Amino acid sequence: MDYTTQRLGFKIRKAVRYVRLYGVRRTLVKIKGQYHMKKRYGSLPALPSTPRPGGHIGIIGCGNHAFSNIAVHLHKRHAGAMRGAMDIDVHKAASFYENYGLRYYTDDAQAIVADPAIDLVFIASNHASHAEYAIRCIEAGKRVHIEKPHVVSEDQLGRLASAMRSHPDSKVFLGFNRPHSVLFRKLQTLLSEQRGPLMVNWFVAGHEIPDDHWYFDEREGGRVLGNLCHWTDLSLHMVGMKNAFPCTIVPATPPGSKSDYVVSMMFADRSCASITFSAKGHTFEGVREVLNVHKGDLLANLTDFESLTAEIVARKYRKRLFHRDHGQGLNVLNSVSSTTGEDPAYVVATAKLFLAVRQAIDGGRPVTLTPEQALTP
């Protein structure tokens, strides 16, 4: 939904609700992000012949996610660290440059890749280009933060893994932010104290998007790779890499469905995860997520990454945050401060899992992902 075209009363109600959910500052940035996406210049901002010195972070892809999520955290904690912004739509790159005070903007990714002052690149372009840009940055010796999904095909995954092996100093970070959420980390601690397999159920109400949206371009991987990968990744985090494979994926999705999915995953340790993703209309508060999980004596519910309830026999734990925390801030800042990067085996396995889920849904039949397949790019 284009919020900029709605009536004033709707805009006010939306802003008030988001202040409650995310706070004043984040809400203002989200509003600015809506107008950023539509920004058009009569004359593009002038740039000096030589970029001003300073900054070490590059941005490739200046859409709403980069503007409203990545940049806001970088600007808050590392003011002045962003150096160059690139987007194939130069107006978005220019708007990003002006709003966050960068040194330059461009519509040529090579300007970012070749800039010796940039040692970390955040990649938030269209999905099919994530791995392609990442490989170029890795080969140039840069660290990269790749937004989800980091690949859209087995071929891309193989080439990305090869680049990582060939350039081990160029660390890779993934944009799966929810594992960094305060409440999800607390839940993980509680799960680690219990024995045995898990029963996991996710219900997700996502944004309705029009049929001509770029997500549905076959080259971009559709909503399974664009959205569902969040919850396949979270399920893998809960089960754990060593317990996950072989994993059998069973779809129960209407043939030809582009946005509504039901899929179950049965893992090696007998853990089971079911994901229902529904996108049938507008959700006023954004994506809505409910997790129910049972392991040993633990029965837990996580709602919208805002409230967590856990019962362990007679004991009950309740935690409610003042604002929702999807882990975006910590995920972004970790890519700036961490020197270790993601485990290459995890980079491969989480991609293999969401690619197998897409295969199962598209084919309408179960798919089994063996340990050899899951860990071999």
Q: 5-9, 222-226, 266-270: lowest mean pLDDT where?
A: 5-9
Which domain, by its residues, includes 228?
178-325+342-375
- Residue-wise pLDDT tens digits, 335-354: 999 989 999 999 999 999 99
The total number of structural domains in the chain stands at 2
337 lies in some domain: no
In this structure, are residues 87 and 93 in contact, taking their beta carbons and an 8 Å threshold? yes
- Domain-terminating residue out of 113, 147, 174: 174
Q: pLDDT at position 77, please?
A: 94
The yes-or-no verdict on residue 192 having pLDDT over 70 is yes
Same domain assignment for residues 55 and 41: yes
pLDDT at 271 over 70: yes
- pLDDT of 369 reads 98
Residue 167 falls within a domain, yes or no?
Answer: yes
- Total Cβ atoms within 10 A of residue 163: 19
Q: What percent of the chain has pLDDT over 90?
A: 80
Residues 265 and 125 reside in one and the same domain: no
Which range is least confidently modeled, 173-177, 188-192, 257-261?
257-261
Residue 334 lies in a domain: no
Q: Please check whether residue 354 is in contact with residue 149, taking contact to mean a CB–CB distance below 8 angstroms.
A: yes
| CA-based torsion, 33, 285, 278, 327: positive or negative | positive
With respect to residue 126, please indicate whether it lies within any of the assigned structural domains: yes
Beta strand 315-320 pairing with 307-312: antiparallel
Q: Do 80 and 20 fall within a single domain?
A: yes
Of the three residues 129, 153, 174, the one that is the final residue of a domain is 174
The pLDDT tens digits for 11-62 are 888 888 888 878 888 888 888 888 899 999 999 999 988 889 999 999 999 9
Q: Note whether 185 and 307 are same-domain residues.
A: yes
Report helix, strand or coil for 184.
Answer: helix
Shared-domain flag, residues 57 and 139: yes
Residues 320 and 307 in one domain: yes
Distance CA(169)–CA(16), nearest Å, equals: 45
235 and 364 in a common domain: yes
Check which CATH number belongs to the domain holding 140 and give it.
3.40.50.720
pLDDT at 232 exceeding the cut of 80: yes
Are 36 and 146 in a shared domain?
yes
Q: What is the pLDDT of residue 1?
A: 65
330 domain-assigned: no
How high is the pLDDT of residue 203? 98
Asked whether residue 336 is assigned to any structural domain, the reply reads: no
pLDDT (0 to 100) of residue 44: 97
d(CA 124, CA 101): 19
Same domain, 182 and 296: yes
Per the prediction, the chain carries an average pLDDT of 94
Looking at the structure, tell me whether residues 12 and 145 fall in a common domain: yes
Kindly state the percentage of the chain with pLDDT values over 70: 100
Q: What is the mean pLDDT of residues 213-224?
A: 87
Task: Residue 203: give its domain's CATH number.
Answer: 3.30.360.10
For residues 275 and 268, the answer to whether their CB atoms sit within 8 Å is no
Least reliable range by pLDDT among 73-82, 154-163, 204-213, 339-348: 204-213
In a domain, 332, yes or no: no
pLDDT category of residue 265 using cuts at 50, 70 and 90: very high
Give yes or no: residues 185 and 102 share one domain. Answer: no
Token pair of 168, please?
């081990």
Global pTM?
A: 0.94
Query: Residue 114: pLDDT above 80?
Result: yes
Reported confidence tier of residue 275, pLDDT bands at 50, 70, 90: very high
pLDDT in tens, 297-336: 999 999 999 999 999 999 999 999 999 999 999 999 999 9
Domain identity same for 163 and 196: no
Domain closes at, from 174, 197, 221: 174
Averaged pLDDT for residues 118-139: 98
Task: Specify whether the CB–CB gap between 90 and 44 falls below 8 A.
Answer: yes
Q: What are the strands, taking DSSP E only, across 96-240?
A: 104-106, 120-123, 143-146, 172-174, 198-205
Asked, for residue 284, whether it belongs to a domain, the answer is yes
